[in-house]
């Protein structure tokens, strides 16, 4: 594992963007595993700038997102599909048909989970997976549990996740109580993992995940078993 400490959010975003851009340059039809939340916004902006400047071309790139709230569709400003369109996909030359987010409004959520896993497999798996980390150690929405869940699944969100994400909604009551998330199999099968984290509030959980025991109670600790992980952390 490579652990890179940087001085601020800008530097974290720039370095993360360079690592992702290198992957796109090496393999134009690579599969990007993407995350939402406040941490990757700067990374997406830097990548969009590189695309604007003609430095990278996303026209053949494919993507799969980690997760989506159950019950929120693309029209909803808080859905992760909308987040990705606004913060990234609409700013780069990716073919929107090559971008994938689980459908949190599917009639049969279990079938949707199976479809998503089959899709990732048919794409040959993820080349580089971008991850943030939740205050409870979640990656995607793999919440602390008694076991690591392998496949894409329907998950009840932890109280701490609901509270942390309430900042994006009018009130805590509006935060969906469940989500669909990619499971550990697709994440761990990614050829490369890039985790970004910023702020003092993430430091304890990050250290616990990366240097503590590997346990499903700290879902991100599974990354210790992956052979190609880069973590970029900014305390500011």
Question: Is 61 a binder of ligand F6R (CB under 6 A)?
Answer: no
Q: Which residue is nearest to ligand F6R (CB)?
A: 132
Q: Which residues are catalytic?
A: 67, 136, 138, 143
Helices (H), 71-182: 80-87, 109-122, 159-165
Nearest to 37 by CA among 171, 130, 126: 130
Residue 39 or 63: the one with the smaller Cβ distance to ligand F6R is 39
CB atoms near residue 101 (< 10 Å): 24
Quick one: which of 140, 176, 183, 219 contacts ligand F6R (CB under 6 A)?
Answer: 140
Count of residues touching ligand F6R (by CB under 6 A) = 13
- Contacts of 58 by beta carbon, 8 Å cutoff, 6+ apart: 24, 51, 92, 93, 94
Residue 98 or 181: the one with the smaller Cβ distance to ligand F6R is 181
Quick one: which of 31, 94, 126, 139 contacts ligand F6R (CB under 6 A)?
Answer: 139
First-last CA distance in the chain: 22
Burial of 184 (0-12, 13-18, 19+ CB in 10 A): buried
Please give the residues from 70 up to 109 whose contact with ligand F6R meets the rule CB under 6 A. Answer: none
Query: What is the contact mask toward ligand F6R in residues 108 to 137, using x (rule: CB under 6 A)?
Result: ------------------------xxx---
Quick one: which of 66, 157, 205, 231 contacts ligand F6R (CB under 6 A)?
Answer: 66
């Amino acid at each position: 594992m490579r652990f890179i400490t940087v001085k601020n959010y800008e530097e974290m975003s720039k370095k993360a963007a360079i690592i992702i851009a290198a992957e796109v340059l090496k393999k134009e039809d690579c599969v990007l595993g993407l995350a939402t939340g406040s941490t990757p916004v700067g990374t997406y902006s830097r990548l969009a700038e590189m695309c604007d400047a003609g430095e990278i071309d996303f026209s053949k790139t494919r993507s799969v997102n980690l997760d989506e709230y159950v019950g929120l569709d693309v029209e909803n400003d808080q859905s992760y599909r909308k987040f990705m369109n606004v913060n990234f996909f609409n700013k780069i030359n990716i073919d929107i048909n090559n971008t994938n987010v689980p459908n949190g409004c599917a009639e049969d959520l279990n079938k949707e989970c199976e479809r998503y896993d089959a899709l990732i497999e048919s794409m040959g798996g993820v080349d580089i997976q971008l991850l943030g980390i939740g205050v409870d150690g979640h990656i995607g929405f793999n919440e602390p549990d008694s076991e690591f869940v392998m496949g894409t699944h329907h998950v009840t969100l932890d109280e701490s996740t609901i509270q942390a994400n309430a900042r994006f909604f009018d009130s805590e009551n509006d935060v969906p109580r469940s989500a669909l998330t990619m499971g550990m199999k697709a994440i761990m099968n990614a050829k490369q993992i890039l985790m970004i984290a910023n702020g003092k509030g993430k430091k304890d959980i990050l250290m616990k995940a990366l240097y503590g025991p590997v346990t499903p109670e700290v879902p991100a600790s599974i990354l210790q078993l992956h052979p190609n992980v880069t973590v970029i952390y900014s305390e500011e």
